[in-house]
Chains A and B, each alone.
Chain A
Amino acid sequence: MDRAPTSFSTLFIYPFERDQHWVVRILAGLGCLAFVAYVLGLPASMGAAFGEGLRHVQSPAAQQRLLAVACGVVWLGGFLVLSVGYALVLFKDRALPQLWTMPLSDRQVYVRQLRAVATPALLSLAPTAALHIAFVVGYAGWDPHLLAGALLLTALQGMLNLLVPVAISLFALPVYFRLSLALLMATGAFFMWLLHYTSSPAEALTRFDAYLNAAGVGELLSAFPGTWTGHLFYTAFVAQEHWLPWAVAITLGSLALAALVAFLGQAAYTKDRVLAQFEGAVVLSGGRRTTPPDQSDMPVLPLGASLVDRLYERLLNRRERAIASLLFRRDFTGGIARRLRNVSLLAATTWGVVLMAPRVSLLLGMPPALGSGIVAIFAFYVYLGAWGLWLGDPRARTASGSSARGSRQEPLIEVVPVSPKEYHWVYVRACAFAIVLTGLLFLPAVMSLPVPPSFHLALALGSFVAPLGAAVVLPVLRSLACMRHPHRSPGGAFRVCAYWAVGLAAPQAGLGGLIVAVDPVGRRGDLVLPVVLLAAFAVVCTVVLYALWRIIVARHNYDVECEMGR
């Protein structure tokens, strides 16, 4: 039986398969580069931070020992984890069935796979380290401690950030969130340690200013748990010393909210696993295990998920709920709750964009709104690979060729009696509800930010408007992408991506405009043009992608039918 495609395979494997068109491969390559940029970005700041902290260890001998041990362990550990992780992913995703049918011993299979994956794993760390060296030298001159720290944390962060998608691929969401929590705790501990060894938080934060700016660009390009660790940094950095308690509280609060949403979703959609892995769910529901007699297939729902389920029952009738299940490819309640979690991540990133944009822009010498918009658009293009395709339209998934080769799956939605109008209406209602709920969850955190009231307003609106706008725009765009062209193509995934992108980028550009309007720096007069340019940029990106796709289809008459065989 096929495994569902993972974000990992969607992003890193399928787009590069031999029968993909070269344009698809190039676009996928760009996506991967963006991901690498992320992997490069955060470690830069963390490395610098670690190095900086290390300077405050008084004994040189202790410093050397610490460095030697830490570097060795992290580099070796990172290398091994990456290699084994990649190997496992490849085994599970693709290679295993084929390799197992070949005349190879088990050992040979493992060796071949490990060799194949070890090289890129090692190489993936090298440029990161090189970039960090450049950062550190450029910022602080030739300081061995800083450099060592940068390298150490390059490896650490690279390992963690690559390990997480591997873990998601291999295991399940609970692991993902446990890892997230572990990461956050580690980061928090590290941060506290750093504060302890610097003379004052202000000094530490100021010194890391440039790195954090650089890191922010990469940070925003990811939906992985680094977002949460970065959140702490963002907030602390933007808020400065005396707002640090707020920063920690907000970060932990937002993580807790997202974890809660994720928890509800996770708890709702599996039955056996819920009981095994989320015993807390039972506690949440007051210790009652309530299995509705007429829904014996439904899991034991925790209170929150039951509430979500009941709310949705009011929102959608039985047939519409079935359509929603079809669209979200999940048991209905769980699907929606999972969407909530992802939307919460989206909102968090939106927030991150808002917070980071002025600094990033100033660093790059451009007006804040322009930086904000470009970062947002770029970030969401990358989102699409891991998020849009993975969780998105089942037809998009089929179109991307992301189901296992040799056993293509038929797009069910094409043959069931659901009109495009109905399909979109259910989608809009379900998403809008999810987003409003998420917005409500985030509102207190947003409003607690120690910034001017007008900025509050922008943030609050941004948390609602950007994703909500996307959810309203997306179905229409999906209609164009999917309904008008029922014949899927290898470029179809990217066509859908383009629509997703503009659907997400346009509200982001609007958000940029909103920020401009209330920009506390007081540059609004200078920023009209950049905002217009941003909108144009989003449109051009979409048009170019769409045109490329049309060219592919027109020139090669290349549709997925030939891939699907006869």
Chain B
Amino acid sequence: MIGVEHVSKGFGDTVALDDVSLTVKRGELFGVVGPNGAGKTTLLRCLVGLLQPRAGSVRIDGLDRRTQDLKIKRFSAFLPSNPHVYPNFTARRWLRMMADIYGLPEETRDQRVDRLLRMFDLAEVADKRVAFYSTGQYQKTTLCGVLVTGVRLYILDEPFSGNIDPSAYAVLKEVLPGLVREGDVTIVFATQILELAEQLCHRIAIVNHGKRIGVGTLEDLRRQADASAPSLSEIYANLVGRDFTEVAREFVEGS
């Protein structure tokens, strides 16, 4: 579904992605993990075409990201890390607008909007202006705005980040694998929550300092880390090359 080949990207003198290659298969739930500033968001932005790589290529469903952008957009949706909803819209209005832009039939659109609003506990505020939402409600609105599109490729930057409530978190944890299971849907998402990636993802890429330092299933990663570590956290520590227990101990003793 997605082919990233030798992609590099920099900002001035800073290298954000350095010769990254990976593939995502159709129907896969694919996680991207890594420390802050590792290049996860840059990678996702290259996937959705917001950034053009300095070198390398991105192909989605056989289409070149650079030249066939619009075709790709028709079957993909992106949740950015800092999404924006126009404050004068209501959640319902926003969702309908997104669905209309993706050309959903009216009946399907309205059903899906209602379902999402109920699912994420937004029904009560659905007709209020977004400007008056809490941060969590705002974030859920943006998430629903992506899910309402009904596309077959979702690229989500930190969909589980801190502001959504436990119910939404739990729902989303069910929705993502459900979408992949039920249809011809592929999902790529970035997250900092290793347990979540371990639990949900078919395959995971670990990036650090702009490089892909590991990719594959948990078993693959374990081999790549050359460790018998049972959990992704320990594999991650091995691949990133840091002993977090030691780092914490030093700080505590220093204090």
User: Which A residues form the contact surface with B (CB < 8 A)?
Assistant: 1-4, 269-272, 296-297, 318-319, 321-323, 325-326, 329-331, 334, 394, 403, 407-412, 414-419, 486-487, 556-559, 561-562, 565-566
A409 and B102 CA atoms in complex are apart in Å by 21
A412 / chain B contacts, CB cutoff of 8 Å: 83-84
Query: Are A487 and B51 in contact (CB-based, < 8 A)?
Result: yes
Q: CB within 8 A of B101: which of A319, A330, A410, A565?
A: A319
- Nearest B residue to A329 via CB reads B86
Given A319-B101, A323-B101, A566-B16; A417-B70 close (CB under 8 Å): yes
12 contacts between A and B (CB under 8 A): A1-B131, A272-B128, A297-B90, A297-B127, A331-B89, A410-B81, A416-B101, A416-B102, A417-B70, A487-B52, A561-B11, A562-B14
B103 / chain A contacts, CB cutoff of 8 Å: 319, 417
A419 / chain B contacts, CB cutoff of 8 Å: 70
Q: Is B42 an interface residue (CB 8 A)?
A: yes
Q: CB within 8 A of A403: which of B11, B40, B84, B133?
A: B84
Q: Which of B91-99, B212-220, B241-249 contacts A (4 or more CB under 8 A)?
A: B91-99
Contact residues, B77-120 vs A (CB, 8 A): 77-78, 80-84, 86-90, 92-93, 96-98, 100-103, 106
- Nearest A residue to B73 via CB reads A417
Query: Are B51 and A415 in contact (CB-based, < 8 A)?
Result: no
Q: Is B62 an interface residue (CB 8 A)?
A: no
A414 and B98 CA atoms in complex are apart in Å by 13
Q: CB within 8 A of A331: which of B52, B70, B81, B88?
A: B88
A334 and B93 CA atoms in complex are apart in Å by 13
Query: Are B73 and A1 in contact (CB-based, < 8 A)?
Result: no
Query: Are B37 and A566 in contact (CB-based, < 8 A)?
Result: yes
A411 / chain B contacts, CB cutoff of 8 Å: 50
User: Which B residues form the contact surface with A (CB < 8 A)?
Assistant: 11-12, 14, 16, 37-42, 48-52, 70, 73-74, 77-78, 80-84, 86-90, 92-93, 96-98, 100-103, 106, 126-131, 133, 135, 138
A319 and B96 CA atoms in complex are apart in Å by 10
A403 / chain B contacts, CB cutoff of 8 Å: 84
Given A326-B97, A412-B84; A1-B135 close (CB under 8 Å): yes
Query: Are B39 and A418 in contact (CB-based, < 8 A)?
Result: no
A416 / chain B contacts, CB cutoff of 8 Å: 73, 98, 101-102
A562 / chain B contacts, CB cutoff of 8 Å: 11-12, 14
- Nearest B residue to A269 via CB reads B88
Query: Are B39 and A330 in contact (CB-based, < 8 A)?
Result: no
Given A297-B92, A319-B101, A325-B97; A409-B135 close (CB under 8 Å): no
CB distance from B113 to the nearest CB of A (A): 10
A271 and B90 CA atoms in complex are apart in Å by 10
CB distance from B207 to the nearest CB of A (A): 10
Given A297-B126, A410-B50, A414-B49; A318-B106 close (CB under 8 Å): yes
Query: Are A318 and B41 in contact (CB-based, < 8 A)?
Result: no
B51 / chain A contacts, CB cutoff of 8 Å: 487, 561
Query: Are B100 and A321 in contact (CB-based, < 8 A)?
Result: yes
Q: CB within 8 A of B42: which of A271, A558, A566?
A: A566
A3 and B84 CA atoms in complex are apart in Å by 10
Query: Are B74 and A417 in contact (CB-based, < 8 A)?
Result: yes
A486 and B103 CA atoms in complex are apart in Å by 24
Query: Are B93 and A409 in contact (CB-based, < 8 A)?
Result: no
8 nearest CB pairs, A to B: A322-B100, A410-B80, A409-B84, A562-B11, A417-B73, A417-B74, A297-B92, A415-B78
- Nearest B residue to A414 via CB reads B50
Given contacts A410-B50, A562-B14, 5 further A-B contacts (CB under 8 A): A4-B87, A297-B92, A325-B86, A416-B102, A418-B70
CB distance from A400 to the nearest CB of B (A): 14
- Nearest B residue to A298 via CB reads B93
A394 / chain B contacts, CB cutoff of 8 Å: 84
B50 / chain A contacts, CB cutoff of 8 Å: 410-411, 414-415, 486
Given A319-B101, A326-B97; A566-B39 close (CB under 8 Å): yes
B77 / chain A contacts, CB cutoff of 8 Å: 415
Query: Are A410 and B84 in contact (CB-based, < 8 A)?
Result: yes
A486 and B83 CA atoms in complex are apart in Å by 18
Query: Are B93 and A297 in contact (CB-based, < 8 A)?
Result: yes
B127 / chain A contacts, CB cutoff of 8 Å: 271, 296-297
Query: Are B82 and A409 in contact (CB-based, < 8 A)?
Result: yes
CB distance from A275 to the nearest CB of B (A): 13
B16 / chain A contacts, CB cutoff of 8 Å: 566
A166 and B48 CA atoms in complex are apart in Å by 39
Query: Are B88 and A270 in contact (CB-based, < 8 A)?
Result: yes
A486 / chain B contacts, CB cutoff of 8 Å: 49-50, 52
**Which of the listed residues A414, A417, A418 has the most CB atoms from chain B within 10 Å of its own CB?**
A417
Query: Are B52 and A410 in contact (CB-based, < 8 A)?
Result: no
- Nearest B residue to A559 via CB reads B11
Query: Are A331 and B93 in contact (CB-based, < 8 A)?
Result: yes
Query: Are A415 and B12 in contact (CB-based, < 8 A)?
Result: no
CB distance from A424 to the nearest CB of B (A): 14
A558 / chain B contacts, CB cutoff of 8 Å: 12
A394 and B97 CA atoms in complex are apart in Å by 16
B87 / chain A contacts, CB cutoff of 8 Å: 1, 3-4
Query: Are B100 and A330 in contact (CB-based, < 8 A)?
Result: no
Query: Are A415 and B88 in contact (CB-based, < 8 A)?
Result: no
**Which of the listed residues B41, B48, B52, B82 has the most CB atoms from chain A within 10 Å of its own CB?**
B82
CB distance from B128 to the nearest CB of A (A): 8
